Amino acid sequence: MQEAIGHYQRLLEDQVRVLGADHPDSLRTRNNLAYLLGRAGEVQEAVGQFGRLLQDQVRVLGPDHPATLRTRNNLASLLGRAGQVQEAVGQFGRLLQDQVRVLGPDHPDSRTARNNLAHWREMVNHPRGN
């Protein structure tokens, strides 16, 4: 996993240098890097990277762009994994409203957000390990 993270970091450096920080490919690589960091257990670092990415995506792509919405999903999931379960529930609730408005209630991303919201609500009501 660390090798893949290193490859993505180097790729991102090259993309920013050649394409610019706001290029869609650079944004996509940032997403992939943050995702890998989360998978590698570096949850706080991934949360920070997703948060910064989200700000840039809103600025560059707009708040309703599918990539922006997916980043919101990823960020909310990581917040839950980081123990910020109430924050995850709130973010998933707002995300689901936006996805239904933009993509429709039956879009796969809307269904994913609905399932994630149900999962984290369950974690609020019945936390594991306590």
Convert the pLDDT of each residue in 1-16 to its tens digit.
999 999 999 999 999 9
Q: Are 28 and 67 in contact (CB under 8 A)?
A: yes
The answer to whether residue 72 is domain-embedded is yes
**Local confidence band at 130 (pLDDT 50, 70, 90 cut-offs):** very low
Residue 19 clears pLDDT 70, i.e. is over it? yes
Q: What is the rounded average pLDDT of the residues 22-41?
A: 96
The answer to whether residue 27 is domain-embedded is yes
Residue type for position 84: Q
Convert the pLDDT of each residue in 48-106 to its tens digit.
999 999 999 999 999 999 999 999 999 999 999 999 999 999 999 999 999 999 999 99
Number of domain units in the chain = 1
The answer to whether residue 84 is domain-embedded is yes
The answer to whether residue 130 is domain-embedded is no
Q: How far apart are CA 38 and CA 17, in angstroms?
A: 25
Question: pTM value?
Answer: 0.92
* pLDDT value for 31: 96
* pLDDT value for 128: 72
What is the rounded radius of gyration, in angstroms, for the C-alpha atoms of the chain? Answer: 15
Token representation of residue 100: 């239904």
Q: How far apart are CA 76 and CA 70, in angstroms?
A: 10
- Identify the domain containing residue 38 by its residue range: 2-125
* pLDDT value for 17: 98
The answer to whether residue 93 is domain-embedded is yes
Whichever domain contains 118, its CATH number is 1.25.40.10
The answer to whether residue 75 is domain-embedded is yes
- Return the half-sphere exposure (C-beta side, CA atoms, 13 A cut-off) of residue 104: 3
